[in-house]
Amino acid sequence: MSKPESQEWILEEENELRIEVDFDTKVKLRLITGTAEVFGTELAQNIDYEFTGRKLAIFTWHGCKLVMYGKCSVEYIANETPMVSYLNMHLALEQRRILATQNNGQGPRVLIVGPNDVGKTSLSKMLLSYALRQNRHPIYVDLDCSEGSITMPGCLTATPLTEMIDVEEGFGSSATSAPTAGSAVMPLAYYYGFPSPKDNSKLYGLLLSRLAQSVSRRLEEDDAARKSGIVIDTNGLIDSTGYEIIANCIKAFSVDVIIVLGHERLYSDMTRLHQKSGVAVIKLAKSGGVVERDSSFRRQTQNHKIREYFYGTTKNELAPYSTMINYHDVEILRVGEGSLAPSSALPIGEDRKVSETHVVKVDPSEHILLHSVLAVSNADKMKSEEEILETNLAGFIYVSEVHEARKKMTVLSPCPGRIPKKYWWLGSLQWAED
């Protein structure tokens, strides 16, 4: 086999190499001399890093030489980046951590807001990586249900980080059944099941409060995490619903720093609405390298993530466990059935939102289940609607086959030998195994 073509890149100090790699391509990158980092995580010299289906920047503070094998769809060096302001932001947060250590207080609770595709997740990674590089153990809270940096899309999660975030895998998708990249502790995930907080804002609000309670309990017990603080990544909603979510979030997580990325009006509104209550509101510029992701790229990223959840990555392969389940061994649940009914169809006086957190049992059938990815609740028995909604997740399963006549289904699970728990959430996640 012929060797993939190689290209050498020399980067001056504070420059970055921006690359986009398609999903059907593999690109290898090696740092030859100098220092470089990907979203805050340092590269080791003379090690090959492999990327597929990624858009990213390799940034250097002091200059470096890189070699790349394979073909990117986009590749260029940029010498204008907002990295110095991001580093200064980290240094200001670190001051708060030092103070927290001296006073036995709390580290910064940072909320990152802005529209879609301004670099919120990338900035979260950088601030978390810089904190980790200073031996801090921050908690990453991901409220972006459309993406699912930590587990699958449709979840709200919190992950205590103790190890560096992986250059190739990011936060990874090793999910709720196992510790994830960057963490030796299992992430905490709650199932929302919709792509936008707007789809069921009542349920979103409920889960956000539940997650915040779990995070504050964790902060009470974990001294290092309390002093290191939390970084909260949000989804890009900045209309009235978005503002309501931001306000809820500030209250629930006792946010004391809001970073507004790349949006003047949002910055001015956040200053007006929240600065008087003692929250620091800071504006940071969007990096020119941030790439808008179209729906096809997002869909491919989602498929890639689901595949990784069950089969792992080239570096960390997993063999999923395939098992046959009787329909009657599980209860398949869905949230908010009926919320689509027009208000006029509801009984007089009944609040339309009542149905938004209604839990409905779904009759299993091939039509509904085949190729679905379901979230497995940690609940052992059917409690009240609220309790089951607020129970965190054990993991996910994929329905690969349905044997309608025998009332059975074959499911894939990443945990060999473990019988999945009884209550499974059905959302809109579908995946056709390739």
Chain contacts with ligand ADP (rule: CB under 6 A): 18, 55-57, 114, 116-122, 236, 287, 289-291, 293
Mention every residue, 6+ apart, whose C-beta is less than 8 A from residue 138: 107, 128, 131, 132, 160, 161, 225, 228, 229, 230, 231
Q: Which of 248, 250, 258, 263 lies closest to 281, judged by CA? A: 258
Contact (CB, 8 A) for 336 and 357: yes
CB of 120 within 8 A of CB of 258?
no
Nearest residue to ligand ADP, by Cβ distance, number only: 289
Q: Let me know the angle formed at the C-alpha of 194 by 403 and 127, rounded to the nearest 5 degrees.
A: 120
Encoding tokens for residue 78? 């940029």
Q: Judged by CB, which is closer to ligand ADP: 129, or 287?
A: 287
Distance CA 232, CA 426 (A): 26
* CB 408 to ligand ADP: min, Å: 40
Q: What are phi and psi of 152, to 5 degrees?
A: -105, 160
Least distance CB 271 / ligand ADP (angstroms) = 20
Binding residues: 16, 55, 117-122
Nearer to ligand ADP, 146 or 216 (CB): 146
Residue closer to ligand ADP, measured from CB, 60 or 121 = 121
CB of 377 to ligand ADP, least distance (A): 28
**Residue by residue, what is the 3-state secondary structure of 386-400?**
HHHHCCCEEEEEEEE
Give the list of residues 6+ apart from residue 398 with CB closer than 8 angstroms, or none.
306, 310, 320, 371, 372, 373, 374, 411, 412, 413, 431, 433
Residues at the annotated binding site for ATP? Answer: 16, 55, 117-122
User: Which is closer to ligand ADP, CB of 182 or CB of 236?
Assistant: 236
Residue 292 vs 363, nearer CB to ligand ADP: 292
Question: Closest approach of Cβ 242 to ligand ADP, in Å?
Answer: 13
CB of 236 to ligand ADP, least distance (A): 6
Asked if residue 372 lies in contact with residue 344, where contact means CB atoms within 8 angstroms, the answer is no
Q: How far is the CB of 412 from ligand ADP (least distance, A)?
A: 27
Residue 72 in contact with residue 20, Cβ under 8 Å? yes
